[in-house]
Amino acid sequence: MPEGDSVFRAAAQLHEALAGDELVVADLRVPALATSDLTGRRVLETVARGKHLLTRLDGDLTLHTHLRMDGRWAVYPAGERWSGGPGWQIRAVLGTARNTAVGYRLPVVELLPTTEESTVVGHLGPDLLGPDWDAQEALRRLSADPLRPLGLALLDQRNLAGVGNVYANELSFLARVPPWRPVGEVPGLEKVVDTAHRLLTLNRLRVGHVTTGDTRADRRNWVYGRARQPCRRCGTRILTSSLGEPPQDRVVYWCPRCQPER
């Protein structure tokens, strides 16, 4: 599932392509919205809220989309051939005189009044990349269940919005604890929250979820995706397993030396 920084970039791309222009093409290819007509409406903005995308139109209307595992928005100059996938995967098309935004494999596509956006994003915790980021509130929410594994607590968007599995693994490594360590036993939980905010902020306009400081494709992360490879810090072989109950379990990576059981 995309991390919050990836969704932030998608929102910025959609905003740059569509904001301020009138829709001349609007095709929502989901049964519930098949007859909806958005043509003639002006796009006001697209913003990210955690991992949710909110495209606001004039007339108090918002198109809410979520990428989940496979969704993607692609932007093309008006008239250019679309190349993001077969036509049957397209779920939404928003076109202006300048650009066309095409949503592929979007699992969530819905319209709602802008004044009612809280019904779809109101449950989220503080947004790591939002203008109202509140580190103390995020810390309070994380700490509310001290027995919960750190990796799962970080992934819970009700605690803080924007962390995906890459960052959950990398933050556990940087905190020097395994992802299953109970939140109440993680030393310096405040630093974990601050590091999450710093990493997503640094990566919000670049690709790769860089956590090591090295932007080279094979050097970006400490442990994520590096099973059986040597730890960049101590050389110990990186291990992998799963955390959580199916079907919500997530793959985890850790260094048994840098992230000891106790």
Catalytic residue positions, numbered: 2-3, 51, 250
Can you tell me the distance from the alpha carbon of 133 to that of 237, in angstroms, rounded to the nearest whole number?
A: 36
The residues that bridge with 171 in the sheet, in sequence order, are: none
Can you tell me the distance from the alpha carbon of 13 to that of 73, in angstroms, rounded to the nearest whole number?
A: 9
Please provide residue 225's backbone torsions phi and psi, each rounded to the nearest 5 degrees: 70, 15
CB 191 within 8 A of CB 81: no
- For residue 13, how far is the Cα from the chain centroid? 15
Q: Which tokens hold the place of 106?
A: 């979007």
Identify the H or E element spanning 173.
Answer: helix 165-174
The residues that bridge with 56 in the sheet, in sequence order, are: 45, 62
Sign (positive/negative) of CA torsion 24, 27, 28, 34? Answer: positive
Cis omega (within 30 of 0) for bond into 247: yes
